[in-house]
Amino acid sequence: MTIALVDCNSFYCSVETSFQPWLRDRPVCVSSSNDGCVVARNDHAKKIGIKMSQPVFELRHLVEQNKLILFSSNYELYQSLSNRVMAILESQAPRSFCYSIDESFCALDGIADPLGWAQETQAMIKQRLGLDVGVGISNTATLAKLANWAAKKWKAQTGCVVDLRDPVRRDRLLNYAPVNEVWGIGRRLTEHLGGLGINTAWQLASADPKFLRRHFNVNVERTARELLGVACIDISDTGTGRKQMIISSRSFGQRITTLEPLLEAVASFVSIAAAKLRLQGSLANCIQVFARASPFASGQPYSASRIIALPAPTDDTRDLLSAAVGGLRDLYRPGVEFAKAGIVLSQFSQRGAITGDLFAPAPRRNSDALMAVMDSINARQGRGSIRLARDTATGPWKMHRQFLTPPYTTSWDALPKARC
C-alpha cells in the first residue's frame, strides 16, 4: 500500500500569517493558552533561536523591540482552517484519516503517480487556503512520517515532497536520520536506545526484533519493523471516532487560594467536557477532578485528584458537576496557591446500549431534552450562552490571551478586509 502523510508547515503560525501576509517574512510564534510558552514557530523564528516550549516571559523583550511577532493561540480559528484542509484531502485522496489538527494519513490506493498527486494536492491547498504543506510518501505510516521529516528538512531541494518507496533511497535516509526523529521514539527511548548503541534510524531498523521486544515493548518492535517497510500500524485506526476519555483543564490566569473561584472554574470545565461527551453519544461512568499548585512556584507543592465513580452512567452536566464539586471540596486545601485544575471523563458507555441498574437512583426527568436544548442554543449562539449558574464564565481563573487575533472565519464581524 502507498501511504502519504500530509502535514501543514508551522500550522498555527501559517494560519495567522495567511490572514496577515505582510508578516510572512518576519519571525512569528504562537503561544500556548495563558501565553505561557511557545507552541509554534515559523522558519524565521527558528532561525533567530526561538525554541519549542520556550517560556514566553523570556521573549518579552524581543516582542517589545518588534523583533518577534507573537500570537496567543486562537484554537477556534486553527480548527476551522484545519477542517478546510481535511475537506480538500478527503476530496483528493481515495481514503484519508485525520491524525491531528494539522496532519492526515492518505491511502493512495489506485493512484498511479503518487508524487504527481502530492504536488497537485499541495498546490491546491496553497491556492485555496494559503497554507504550505509537506508530503511524505512510503509503504508504512512510520516511513511516511520520516519521509515528511525529510521533505521539511530539505524543503528547497524536495519542494517539500519526498517519496521513500524505493528501498535504496529509504535506506540512505535511515542511515542519515537520528533515531529521535522516528515517529514513536521520544526523549526517554532515545536515551535508552543510545545506551545500547542504537543512534540512527537504520540501527533501530536493523536491530533484532526479539531484542527490542525484550528491552522495550511491542511498540518499539513495531516501529523497527515499519522502518523496513513491514506495515504494523493500520492508519484507518488513527484519528476520528469516539474518544475513550475527555479532558478539560486549564492553567489559571492568576493563582487561586479560595474555594469559590475554584468551583466556578471546575463548573466551566465540566460544561465543556459534558458537551463533548453528548456530541459523541457517550455516557460517562467515571469523573476525575484534579487541582494543583504551580510546580515552578517556591511555595508548598501540592497536587491532588479524586476519582468518583458515578452512580449511573450519565451525560447530564448537573450530575457530572455535583460529583466533581464533591471531589473538589475534598481535595481543596486552604493556603495552597492553585495554578491549574481540570476534570477527566472516562469509562464510557454507549448511549442506548446500557443495562439498567435496579438499585441506581431514578434518572432526572427530562434530562435529555434539557441538555439537547442547552447544546443547540450554545451551538447557535456560541459556547456559554446558556449555562449552569455555577459556571460564571468570568473569574480570576480565565486565561490570559494578550495577543489574540480575531476569529476571522467564525464570526461575521471579524471577516478579514482587503488590505494587500
Q: Which residue ranges make up the site for DNA (CB under 7 A)?
A: 32-34, 36-37, 39, 53, 55-57, 99-103, 145, 183-190, 217-219, 237, 243-251, 255, 272, 276, 294, 296-297, 307, 339-340, 342, 399
Task: Name the DSSP letter for residue 58.
Answer: G
The distance of closest approach from Cβ of residue 251 to DNA in the complex, given in angstroms and rounded to an integer, is: 4
Nearest residue (CB) to DNA, 169 versus 255: 255
Under 8 Å between Cβ of 92 and 109: no
Nearest residue (CB) to DNA, 60 versus 128: 60
Distance CA 320, CA 341 (A): 16
Count H helices and E strands in the chain, helices first: 15, 12
Nearest residue (CB) to DNA, 196 versus 218: 218
- Per-residue burial over 74-84, b = 16 or more CB atoms within 10 Å of its CB, e = otherwise: beebbeebbee
Cα torsion 34, 246, 219, 147 to 10°: value is -60
Helix or strand run (H / E) with residue 136: strand 133-138
Q: Which residues pair with 371 in a beta bridge?
A: none
**Three-class SS string for 361-398?**
CCCCCCHHHHHHHHHHHHHHHCCCCCCCCCCCCCCCCC
The distance of closest approach from Cβ of residue 369 to DNA in the complex, given in angstroms and rounded to an integer, is: 25
> SS3 helix, strand, coil % of the chain, rounded to 5?
45, 20, 35
- Per-residue burial over 293-326, b = 16 or more CB atoms within 10 Å of its CB, e = otherwise: bbeeeeeeebebbbebebebbbbbbbbbbebbbe
59 CB contacts (<8 Å, ≥6 apart)?
A: 29, 38, 50, 68, 70
Helix 317-331 to helix 259-279 angle (10° resolution) is 140
Nearest residue (CB) to DNA, 86 versus 111: 86
Nearest residue (CB) to DNA, 12 versus 111: 12
| The C-alpha cell that represents 69 in the structure block | 511577532
Under 8 Å between Cβ of 31 and 13: no
The distance of closest approach from Cβ of residue 242 to DNA in the complex, given in angstroms and rounded to an integer, is: 7
Nearest residue (CB) to DNA, 123 versus 245: 245
The distance of closest approach from Cβ of residue 255 to DNA in the complex, given in angstroms and rounded to an integer, is: 7
Nearest residue (CB) to DNA, 3 versus 272: 272
The distance of closest approach from Cβ of residue 192 to DNA in the complex, given in angstroms and rounded to an integer, is: 8
Q: How many angstroms separate the Cα of 260 from the Cα of each of 12, 252, 332, 391, 395?
A: 35, 14, 11, 11, 10
Distance CA 40, CA 15 (A): 11
The distance of closest approach from Cβ of residue 73 to DNA in the complex, given in angstroms and rounded to an integer, is: 8
The distance of closest approach from Cβ of residue 365 to DNA in the complex, given in angstroms and rounded to an integer, is: 30
The distance of closest approach from Cβ of residue 112 to DNA in the complex, given in angstroms and rounded to an integer, is: 29
The distance of closest approach from Cβ of residue 335 to DNA in the complex, given in angstroms and rounded to an integer, is: 16
The distance of closest approach from Cβ of residue 370 to DNA in the complex, given in angstroms and rounded to an integer, is: 23
Nearest residue (CB) to DNA, 114 versus 342: 342
Nearest residue (CB) to DNA, 186 versus 382: 186
Nearest residue (CB) to DNA, 44 versus 340: 340
Nearest residue (CB) to DNA, 78 versus 111: 78
Under 8 Å between Cβ of 343 and 414: no
The distance of closest approach from Cβ of residue 119 to DNA in the complex, given in angstroms and rounded to an integer, is: 22
Instruction: Tell me the residue type at 287.
Output: I
